[in-house]
Amino acid sequence: MFQSIHRMSAVGAVCLTILGCSGWSKETREVTCASDEAYAAYREGLDQAYRFHPEEAFEALRRATELDPQFVMAQVRLAATARGLGRKDFADSVLAAAYQQREVASPVEALLVERTYALAQDDHERGMEIYHELVKLAPDNPWVLRLRAEEARRQQNFRQALVFYDRILETDPEAIEIHNLKGYMYLGLGDYEEAIRALQRYAYYAPDNANPHDSLGEAYLYEGKYELAMQEFVRALEIEPTFLWSATHLAQALGITGQFRRAEQTLDELRPVFEERDQLKWLHLEQLKLAYLAEDWPRTIAIAEAQLPLPDQLPAMDTEWGVWVHYARTMGYLEMGQLEEAQAALAKLTTFLDSFQKKTAIYGAFDSIFEINRAALRSRFARKRGNPSEGIDDLRKAIAASKMSPHELASFRHELAEALLATNRPAEAAEVAEELLEKIPTAPRMNLLAAKAYHEMGQREPALEHLRTYLEVMRFADEGNPRVAEATKLLQQMVPRS
């Protein structure tokens, strides 16, 4: 009897092992697909897309749809990829086909197709409705999680977005583009270390693409690791010499560190590309920022004026451009003492901000952005009019109420500190400076301001430390940089020659 039991146990164990192995080795699918080959092609397409290989992604996804003509999720991805490649008509036809046969897919997939179709028709309201249905139906579906993260991001709820992104990675570690999105979430939260880690991962998984390096460069830039940032931007440009984002970011980094000539040169080299892509406004925007940063007010005004008039209907992605044009023009006139022109520019800026705020009211989260911009403007104006204390409180409140990241708040904090220093409140100015420097220790302008504040307070050591930091960051600055000269002079005052 015991022998029989032993034999049966052995056979049972073998069967379980085989079943377990077969079950273990079988891949689970997150999409409805009738063909293993189609699924494999779909996964390959996704992977190529995540790695910013749109052509390869397009081919793989098209192969998936040919192998399984009813593979609706592959069709949706194919449409998105085609649209990114500028093949709009093809994208529309594929999306329409997916929409027609969405019933063969799972309920979640059908809704996803329907939502994509609605958004392609600019029916955002319907899109939002379907979104809420999807969240109710399958809150943990990877695609729904992406939508939820997107929504959270739109609401500026970066932490919630990160939660959703982490859940996506748990089920699909190969969704490498999530690392990029996470990076930007962390940047939005001002958690630069985590942002860098996420973007380092992204750069590892997609090393032969410029975008990851550009994103990583951005993270370094916002954290104040300017040299690392520039290395990444250069790397991105090596991978893709016409990657304009990296060019502009590199110009920013160069500008922050006072290397304006190099920055201009970088932008000029890519002018033909900007022109070719009909993106000259972005070139101008960067030039405007550089001029502003260099405190070259005449040039600032010139560039800003050259952009005008702005179109009445600006797309959302051009908001920054529009804001900067008006802002820089206003500040330029203000700094040059042309108060009337400044007032007129301010009026246009305010009108622009108001109208855009209405447009983006649905999102709600942008209100604080507009408010802080207004507060900063008021403070600057008051200071220029000789009444620096006016507007300080509003600006301080606006900064406190803002959910912007430290690097986004840097200029506003700088404005506040300048105002406080101008009202002989160096301690408060130093405090404001330290708040920013805690997050971005190498922020050059704030280091200089802090040095001045401590110097006024008679605190030599912190003043010297900040000066040294400033001069270290600005060591490659163009010759004759006035701020560098100012810092050098101040240093000389504090450290007499022996």
Partner 1 sequence: MANLLSSQRLLIVWGALALLVGVFSAYDATRSRPTDGAVWLLGGDQIRIVDTEPGGAADRAGLEIGDIVEGIDRQAIRNPRHASQLLQSKSAGDRVPYLYRRDGEVRETTLTLDSTRMANVRTYIVYCLVGLIYFMAGTYIVVRRPGLTAARLFFVLCTMFLIYFFSVSERSIFYYWSDLFIRNMGTLASLMLPPLFFHFFAVFPQRRTWLESRPWLVPLLYALPVGFYLDFSWKQLFGSSAASINATQQMALGIYFTAGLASLVRTYAGSSDTDMRQRVKFLTLGTVFGTLPFLVFNIALGRFIGQSEWSLLGAVPMVLVPVSFGYSIARYRLMDIEVFIRRSLIYALLTGLTVGAYLVLVVLVGHTLLDVSGQNSQLVAIVATLLIAAAFAPARERIQGFLERRFFREKHDLQQALHDLARVLPHTLERDTLIHLVETRIHELLHPTNFLFLSADPDVLTFSSEEGELPLLHFSRMLRRRGSAATPEVIQSELLRLARRHEASRDEFRAEMRLFERRGTELIIPAFAGERLVGAIALGPKRSEVAYDGAEVDLLQIVAGQMGVQLENTRLYDAAVERKRLEEELGVARDIQQRLLPSDVPRIDGYELAAVNLPSAQVSGDYFDFVPFGECVGLVIADVSGKGLPASLLASNLQASIRALSSSQSNPGEVLRIVNDTLYASTDSTRFATAFLACLDRDTGRITYSNAGHNPPLLRRASGEVEWLDVGSTPLGAFPSMQYGEAVVELEPGDCLVLFTDGVTEAEDPNGEFFGEEGLESAIHAHSEDGAAAVLQGLRDAVDHHTGPVGAADDMTVIVVRMLDEKGASLAAARP
Q: Which of 58, 165, 205, 226 binds partner 1 (CB under 8 A)?
A: 205
Is residue 245 at the binding interface for partner 1, with CB under 8 A as the rule? no
Site for partner 1 in 50-69 (CB under 8 A): none
Q: Phi/psi at 270 (nearest 5 deg)?
A: -105, 10
Q: Map tokens 């799972």 to a residue.
A: 106
Listed ranges 75-83, 196-204, 217-225, 412-420: which one lies at the site for partner 1 (CB under 8 A)? 196-204
- Nearest Cα to Cα of residue 305 among 329, 281, 340, 283: 329
CA angle, residues 335, 341, 345, in degrees to nearest 5:
90
**What is d(CA 244, CA 175) in angstroms, rounded to the nearest whole number?**
25
Is residue 166 at the binding interface for partner 1, with CB under 8 A as the rule? no
Q: Which residues contact 104 (CB under 8 A, 6 or more apart)?
A: 32, 70, 72
Helix axes 107-120, 124-137, angle to 10 degrees: 160
Listed ranges 157-165, 170-178, 230-238, 446-454: which one lies at the site for partner 1 (CB under 8 A)? 170-178
Q: Are 149 and 134 within 8 A, CB to CB?
A: no
Output the smallest distance, CB 334 to partner 1, in A: 44
Is residue 189 at the binding interface for partner 1, with CB under 8 A as the rule? no
Is residue 176 at the binding interface for partner 1, with CB under 8 A as the rule? yes
Rank residues 220 and 366 by Cβ distance to partner 1 and give the closer one.
220
Rank residues 207 and 298 by Cβ distance to partner 1 and give the closer one.
207
Is residue 196 at the binding interface for partner 1, with CB under 8 A as the rule? yes
Is residue 204 at the binding interface for partner 1, with CB under 8 A as the rule? yes
Task: Render the burial of 410-432: b for 16+ CB within 10 Å, e for the rest.
Answer: bbbbbbbbbbbbbbebbebbbeb
Output the smallest distance, CB 207 to partner 1, in A: 6
Q: How far is CA 197 from CA 65, 163, 216, 229, 290, in A?
A: 36, 16, 9, 14, 29
Listed ranges 189-197, 287-295, 392-400, 459-467: which one lies at the site for partner 1 (CB under 8 A)? 189-197
Is residue 200 at the binding interface for partner 1, with CB under 8 A as the rule? yes
Listed ranges 141-149, 194-202, 233-241, 352-360: which one lies at the site for partner 1 (CB under 8 A)? 194-202
Is residue 298 at the binding interface for partner 1, with CB under 8 A as the rule? no
Rank residues 155 and 171 by Cβ distance to partner 1 and give the closer one.
171
Q: Which of 87, 126, 197, 281 binds partner 1 (CB under 8 A)?
A: 197
**What is d(CA 384, CA 378) in angstroms, rounded to the nearest whole number?**
10
Q: Are 167 and 140 within 8 A, CB to CB?
A: yes
Give the footprint of partner 1 on this chain (CB under 8 A): 173-174, 176, 193, 196-197, 200-201, 203-207
